[in-house]
Amino acid sequence: MKPNKLSIAAISIASVFTMPVALAHQGSHATAHWYSGLIHPFTGLDHLITMLLIGVVAAGLSAKKGKQLLAMVGLSFVGGMLLANVVALPASIEYLLLASLVLVPVAGLCLGKHRVLETISISALALFGAAHGFVQTTEATGSIMLFGTGALLSSMALCIAGYGLKRAISAHSTRNASTVAN
């Protein structure tokens, strides 16, 4: 099941127009509570769209590879959280998050094309997962573990929602195509 090029292109174009309002990183709700971390990915379009798109891209792979990709993004998110406790990066990392809005769909288009492109695409998806984990951790005040746990749970829920949505749409369109053919 390959990603539909038209739908990925449409999402990419729409993502470009949402970039100016995408930033969720204002820090006003990034307190020590796990539920603050839980709602954080839903309060900014960059987190919301990127995590949904990662799920959509994963659904374009075989079931086994798609689930592996989602697990890898989750682990990368945790890696980014851990890295944020050790390294200080400039605020310009926000631009990587904004770029992920366009580059995640591009990565989806590259999957299955060529082994090198697929490796680069999967690495880019891991980088975006790590960047989101890093940024969310740097915004937390108080218990980073509590905030990070909430952010990880909701980010992975968004990825799984994108995965399920793409699978459901693909199954529905396959059923419709077979009905029309008969």
List the chain domain ranges: 45-140+153-163
Structure tokens at 116: 């090198």
pLDDT for residue 47 is more than 60 = yes
Identify which has the larger pLDDT, 91 or 9. Answer: 91
Output the pLDDT for position 21: 46
**pLDDT of 158 over the 50 cut:** yes
pLDDT at 137 (0 to 100): 78
The pLDDT score that the predictor gives to residue 20 is: 47
Task: Give the whole-angstrom CA distance, residue 4 versus residue 23.
Answer: 28
Query: How many residues can be counted in the chain?
Result: 182
Indicate the average pLDDT of the chain. Answer: 78
Helix (H/G/I), strand (E/B), else coil: 23: coil
Q: What is the rounded CA–CA span in Å between residue 160 and residue 52?
A: 8
d(C-alpha 141, C-alpha 118), whole Å: 37
How many Å apart are CA 43 and CA 23, to the nearest integer?
A: 9
> Quick one: average pLDDT of 125-137?
84
In this structure, of 5-19, 100-114, 129-143, 153-167, the range with the lowest mean pLDDT score is 5-19
- Name the more confident of 134 and 22: 134
77 has pLDDT over 60: yes
Instruction: Answer yes or no: is pLDDT of 161 > 90.
Output: yes
